[in-house]
A = this chain, B = another copy of it.
Amino acid sequence: MFTTVFLAACGNNKNNNENSSSGTQVISQTNSNYYQGVIKKGHYLTSKSRGVSVQQNDNQLNLKGFENGLLSISKDHFPTDDYILQEGQYINTDTVENWLGRKSKSNPDGLNPEGKDSKEPLYLQQMDEQDFMTEDHDSLKIKGMTIGLGINSIYYYRKEAYGAVYQKTLNEKDIVKQGKEIADKILQRLRKRKELKNIPIVFALYKQAPNDSLVGGNFFASSVNNGNNIKNSDWKSLNVKNYVLPDETSKGVNSNDENAFENFKNQIQKFFPNLSGVTAQAHYVDGQLRGMHVNITTQFYGQSEIISFTQYVNSTANKYLPNNIPIDIQISSTEGMQSFLSRKTGSNNFYTHVFTSY
């Protein structure tokens, strides 16, 4: 069920106190795409700032997209087969809350600009820490870290409590500049911790999507700091974009991909006697479509309809949607998810599952 990292678990008298009585263990990896996680004293080791990100995002897609994107970036630097993922243990809730606040006399560590809400926007909206561990003799040692910073693209604020919500679109240049400055300050603070002095620390900057967006934001820059670097000196631009299809604004999405989706959508809507809502999230890296999440909502009156519709969506997706990218398709009614289909990169077949009940 889980791999015991230490023989210490059964009462051996070990030097390392932390691990002697109950032991630290890792969760078996069931899919090489996922990291192993850490169990401590029988419980899953959650983040020290658990829950803060949830509160920080009015649009939960900015939370899911941010975390998933950050995991992807981490995998490039800390492969899932070589490292164990420990949820952030160095920056706790109080610290994150202070850092996300404005700099002021009472909050000298605040990473957002001093000033009034109506004059000066908040840039830093959320942050996430991921720790990468390896087994070293009888304990887990930190060998790398990734810090994700979510920077606002639109700043939402109120002039009075419960008052109207105002919004200010932030300047692209300022978003980049503020993100990088904040990253430097955090790097310097982290390097003061003994265990973090010499490990590689990766920073990734994310531009938050507007609150009404049907897709999350996107990562636009990352930087790797080896050894004891205390300044991010090697920023790399990331060309990651997420769009919603159908694309009302017609900017960004490749027209072939857009036509493919339109054809798919038309076939689906023609087939079923109830109106089906068909939308998708399209994920682009360096201008290339790299993945798609399709959402289909419709009314169903029975299991046979769901099964037939799912089989139809399967063949229609194979015929019309782009090849060689991973695609997830969720089919839902007002009662929740009814079935889903998933195709991996390089595969020609969808895995399909129709949810049933006894």
Contact = CB atoms under 8 A, between A and B. Distances in A.
- Count of identical protomers in the assembly: 2
B358 A272 contact: no
A4 interface: no
Interface in A81-136: 85, 87, 128, 130
Given A30-B311, A337-B336, A44 B305 contact: yes
A279 interface: no
Interface residues of A, number: 78
Contacts of A351: 351, 353
B301 A356 contact: no
Contacts of A302: 47, 50, 53-54, 63, 67, 87, 128
A311 B37 contact: yes
A27 B311 contact: yes
6 smallest CB-CB distances across A and B, nearest first, come from A37-B308, A67-B303, A64-B357, A242-B358, A281-B358, A283-B358
**Taking chain A's interface residues, is the majority helix, strand, or loop, or is none over half, making it mixed?**
mixed
Contact of A2 (B310, B315, B355, B357): B315
A63 B301 CA distance: 10
Given A27-B308, A330-B355, 19 more contacts: A1-B316, A30-B310, A30-B315, A30-B352, A34-B354, A42-B270, A44-B271, A44-B309, A46-B305, A47-B304, A51-B301, A54-B302, A60-B335, A61-B357, A64-B357, A65-B358, A87-B302, A336-B336, A337-B337
A271 B39 contact: yes
